[in-house]
Amino acid sequence: MEITEESAVALAGAIRAGSLSSREVVEAHIAVLERVNPSLNAVVVERYDAARRDADEVDARLAADGPDALPPLAGVPVTVKESLAVAGMPNTAGVVARKHIRPAAHAPVVQRVLDAGAIVLGLTNTSEGCMWIESNNRVYGRTNNAYDRRRSAGGSSGGEGAVIGSGGSPIGIATDTLGSIRIPAFCNGVFGHRPSTGLLPVTGSWPPPYGVARMCANGPLARRAQDLMPLLEIMAGPDGVDPLVRELPLQDPASTSLTGVRVTLVEDAFLPGTGREMLRARDRAAAALEDAGAKVEHVTMTSLRQIGLFTTIVLAEETGISFAEIMRGEGAHPLSLPELVAPRGKHTAPMRSLVIGEVLEKLLPKPLVRRLATAAHTAADEVTAIIGDGLLLHPTMPAVAPRHGASTGQPWRTNAVAPFSLAGLPVTQAPLGLGSAGLPLGVQIVGGMGNDYLTIAAALELERAFGGWAPPRGN
């Protein structure tokens, strides 16, 4: 297997054993990025020369002190979503008014991965303000899909999805509020994990989580499923700032049996437009888990059809702070009439749509808004009860990665990911090979609170059954 197809765990082991140098590993990934990034626009802030120096330091330390002196990810490349703080590097989250921002300290999840020895190759693109499912902004431009440059890489962590899907990085660190890890992982054919709320601190991410920290999560993307749990173990635990984070036990997914595990498929939960190919992929995944000993059950839950739409209302209602106000706090003025109508202004179409939506939402009667928010929470509680100690398989999007711009103004495209964010549940996005259009298929594996190991165990099984990440042709 090529260096740029291996897992981070395997690369770390090879570096420690001396069969590969860190410099070789870093150079191999930089070579991929220099070849594909001009057309992908996934890495938007690179530090290739600094990464080479870091790799040389790892190799020198190994020669001087031996393998036992190295931390677990020593010499392994990683990329980081630009909206997560990396000291001294840009942290705009795609917002023009934040172009001057340079954090003084790393986000805790970034610091912990660096302390484990990983080497940052660069920062990756996001949607403006991390608030849409296509990664495009007026600071860095648009990111393209790793398999088809005419299509979206997803969002808001589309840069991470595209760079890992192209083979340019084995692992990445990103954020997920309404599918921002899962959708890019799906679109680019890699693994992504939204952790249980309270497992990883969200400190150091922008926009700040305010009152929806339960919905917000930092988490990993990876081209190989075996990297997900080691990354969670490295990043997990209290940081003294995020009030929701606590010590949670993490079990080993590799030694977890799926025998007797209940796997639920929810029927009648999809809005019109959900493609048969997505549902067939889900059903194939269920059959593979059943072959591994799981017990598949079918239930009906029609309330899932609307919960994604209601979740946006929850975001606005429970924070008490509109995104227009957040943007104004950064020096932006998205509510001005010229900005709302100017297609080439400082704000993208999704951001303008979001702000207009906030204005319209304020016109709704308050009792109705409260009822809709309550309905969303009730549905999230129902999902949690249905899953219990088992798993739920659910499509990630209505269809394969959409063409650029096709998702703008269509909030229902997050309908399949939103319920699990609202419930704060762990979700692993697993690739299921390529579909009829040569684009990745995949499925969300949802578990009960704290059962991250079980969703990852199922992802490992699906990787064995379907092959996992398939490198794009022609990269």
Distance CA 154, CA 140 (A): 15
Distance CA 82, CA 92 (A): 7
Kindly compute the dihedral angle of the four CA atoms of residues 358, 363, 367, 368, in this order, to the nearest 10 degrees.
Answer: -70
Instruction: Return the H-helix or E-strand segment holding 350.
Output: helix 349-361
Strand order of the sheet with strand 440-447? 43-46, 119-124, 77-81, 171-176, 217-222, 191-194, 427-434, 440-447, 391-394, 262-267, 295-300
Single out the residue of 102, 125, 326, 124 nearest to residue 207, CA to CA.
326
Dihedrals phi, psi of 37, to nearest 5 degrees: -65, -30
| SS3 of residue 119 by DSSP | strand
| SS3 of residue 468 by DSSP | coil
Distance CA 335, CA 319 (A): 19
Place of tokens 């990440």: 469
Q: What angle do CA 179, 207, 347 make, to 5 degrees?
A: 90
Beta strand segments in 301-417, E: 391-394
- Enumerate residues 6+ apart whose C-beta is below 8 A from 464: none
Distance CA 300, CA 218 (A): 31
**Cβ count within 10 A of residue 404:** 18
**Cβ count within 10 A of residue 388:** 13
Structure tokens at 103: 């954090």
The DSSP bridge partners found for residue 338 are none
Over 426-450, what HEC string results? CEEEEEEEECCCCCEEEEEEEECCC
The DSSP bridge partners found for residue 193 are 428
Question: Does a cis peptide bond (omega within 30 degrees of 0) precede residue 205?
Answer: no
Residues labelled as active-site residues:
81, 156, 180
For residue 40, the Cα-to-chain-centroid distance in whole angstroms is: 18
Q: What's the half-sphere exposure (Cβ side, CA atoms, 13 Å) at 424?
A: 14
Helices (H) and strands (E) in the chain, counts: 15, 13
The DSSP bridge partners found for residue 124 are 43, 81
Distances (CA, A) of 32 to 2, 8, 68, 472: 12, 16, 30, 12
Distance CA 180, CA 156 (A): 5
